[in-house]
Amino acid sequence: MDSATSPITRRVVDCDVHPAIPRVETLFPYLSAHWVEYMTQSAFRGPVDTSYPKGYPNGGSVDATVSEPASLAGAVLRGPDDQAILNCLYAVDSVHNPDTAHALARAVNDWVADRWLSADARFRASIVVNVQQPSMASAEIDRVAGNRGFVQVLLPVRTRVGLGDPLFNPIYEAAVRHNLPVGVHFGGAPGNAMSGDGWDDLYVEEYAGMAAIAQVQISSLVGHDVFGRFPALRLTFLEMGWRWVGPLMGELDRAARGMHRRFARGTELPSTMIRAHTRFGLTPGYASNDVVRDEIASAGLADLLLFTSDFPHVHGSDPTEVLKGLGPARAHAIEAANAWDWYPRLGDGER
């Protein structure tokens, strides 16, 4: 079969895979006696807010496949040289007692290191932090970053204020200090309304609206000149699509030209900053594979996309099919090369 039209046949880096914590008791070995007693006596059952309601295909399932390292590796790693970045979506940001949320984040990271990173050298992971308390999040990044298996800091896209707000500076400072990208993922439970017009009535509104929130967050980052303040900062937007990236760059460039005195302190166009400082997960594409391929080529986005299966979440299309027909260079960039450039620790065999 011709390499230009073949599905994935080479080394692949899957940048969005989700292990699951089946129950809060799973974390008890990684919590102090105080927190085990606290959670037992209060009948705490873990974070209850979720962006993945049961029964929906994009919610996947909490079963042996996503709670056992060998099963998950068999599902997402096709060869001995493939790699997967594990993003544990344990909604610690929905727990509004800051000390409890911080304890849970620490426990999740220790569980990931002990249960997953030690089980398979092909696994890498993101650091879970409580975005509601940036100073605590910064301390957790410093605590965990010494483990070279952690390659990224993980935040939800829905936050109490825009990601460009100086409130988040401690997180960005810690990420830059350890040369870690910041992953911004579908979801979040900050306690405020889900959209600009209030609370959503239907899940389809929340599901489709995450892409709009991602665009608002990028506008916040650019408008507040976060990339000017943190020239080494890198952000990865995951599970919110990417077909809106080209139009957003065009709109922000137009706004910057027309309102340059009020838009940002930097001199670069927003599109230049976005291309330099952000990457986007391939899944979901929300279109036929031919349309997606055409948009990747015409908008020059191949260098900005990272391969993501989003396993076990299902969005109606196989991301490997998109790579057929892109040509060897573009396919290889999305499969692995972009990730190797973006995540320095992927090439680090040290644990």
pLDDT (tens digit per residue) in 32-45: 999 999 999 999 98
Contact 189, 131 (CB under 8 A): no
Identify the CA nearest to 216 among candidates 197, 233, 230: 197
Q: What is the mean pLDDT of the chain?
A: 87
Q: How confident is the model at residue 349 (pLDDT cuts 50, 70, 90)?
A: low
Q: What is the identity of the amino acid at 32?
A: S
Tell me the three state secondary structure of residue 127: strand
**From 129-133, 278-282, 344-348, the region with the lowest mean pLDDT:** 344-348
- 258 belongs to a structural domain: yes
User: Cβ atoms within 10 A of the Cβ of 33, count?
Assistant: 8
Question: Would you say residue 162 has pLDDT above 90?
Answer: yes
DSSP of 199-247, one letter per residue? --SSHHHHHHHHHHHHHHHHHHHHHTTHHHH-TT--EEEESS-STTHHH
Question: Would you say residue 226 has pLDDT above 70?
Answer: yes
Give the total number of structural domains in the chain. 1
**From 64-78, 135-149, 262-276, 336-350, the region with the lowest mean pLDDT:** 262-276
- 30 belongs to a structural domain: yes
Q: How confident is the model at residue 3 (pLDDT cuts 50, 70, 90)?
A: very low
10 Å CB burial of residue 44 (0-12, 13-18, 19+) is middle
- 92 belongs to a structural domain: yes
190 vs 33, higher pLDDT: 33
Tell me the three state secondary structure of residue 154: strand
- 125 belongs to a structural domain: yes
Question: Would you say residue 51 has pLDDT above 80?
Answer: no
Domain range for 330 is 13-345
d(CA 127, CA 153): 5
Tell me the three state secondary structure of residue 35: helix
Q: What average pLDDT score do residues 325-345 get?
A: 92
Q: How confident is the model at residue 52 (pLDDT cuts 50, 70, 90)?
A: low
Q: What average pLDDT score do residues 4-28 get?
A: 82
How confident is the model at residue 111, as a pLDDT? 98
Q: What average pLDDT score do residues 329-333 get?
A: 91
CATH number, domain of 266, equals 3.20.20.140
How confident is the model at residue 16, as a pLDDT? 97
Question: Would you say residue 223 has pLDDT above 80?
Answer: yes
- 332 belongs to a structural domain: yes
How confident is the model at residue 64, as a pLDDT? 52
Identify the CA nearest to 297 among candidates 276, 317, 322, 274: 322
How confident is the model at residue 1, as a pLDDT? 33
Contact 236, 183 (CB under 8 A): yes
- 7 belongs to a structural domain: no
**From 17-31, 121-135, 308-322, the region with the lowest mean pLDDT:** 308-322
Question: Would you say residue 30 has pLDDT above 70?
Answer: yes
Long-range CB pairs of 273-276 (<8 Å, 24+ gap) are: 273/222, 273/227, 274/218, 274/222, 274/245, 274/248, 274/249, 275/249, 275/303, 275/304, 276/227
Token pair 């935040």 is found at 155
- 73 belongs to a structural domain: yes
pLDDT per position as a tens digit, 240-265? 989 899 999 999 999 888 876 566 56
d(CA 154, CA 305): 18
- 130 belongs to a structural domain: yes
Question: Would you say residue 148 has pLDDT above 80?
Answer: yes
How confident is the model at residue 32, as a pLDDT? 98
